[in-house]
């Protein structure tokens, strides 16, 4: 019984690690994009999400794009107020 439980926990941990690795890689990739490229990427991810709903990868991409847009907006606001 405990062996099965520990195996499930191990599998869950590997999925979490894979998701975190994917997030970090994708986040670093979108930080390199221009505003126009990021806009195009967001549209592409949105279209892909319509074709294959509920895919975790597409949800992560949406979250990371939103975070990047908020980060860029904050930097732009900070520059304008300075």
pTM of the model: 0.78
Residue 20 is predicted with a pLDDT of 93
Percent of the chain scored above 90 by pLDDT?
59
Q: Residue 53 contacts by C-beta under 8 Å, 6 or more apart in sequence?
A: none
Q: Which domain holds residue 9?
A: 2-81
Nearest to 65 by CA among 47, 38, 44: 38
List, for residues 50-82, the tens digit of each pLDDT value. 998 888 899 999 999 999 999 999 988 888 887
Count of domains observed in the chain: 1
CA torsion through residues 4, 5, 8, 14, sign: negative
pLDDT bucket at 25, cuts 50 / 70 / 90: very high
Show the tokens assigned to 9: 């926990």
């Amino acid at each position: 019984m405990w062996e099965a439980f520990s195996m499930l926990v191990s599998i869950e941990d590997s999925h979490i690690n894979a998701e975190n690795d994917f997030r970090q890689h994708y986040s670093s990739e979108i930080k390199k994009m221009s505003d126009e490229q990021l806009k195009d990427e967001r549209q592409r991810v949105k279209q892909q999400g319509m074709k294959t709903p509920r895919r975790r990868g597409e949800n992560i991409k949406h979250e990371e794009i939103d975070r990047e847009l908020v980060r860029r907006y904050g930097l732009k606001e900070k520059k304008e107020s300075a």
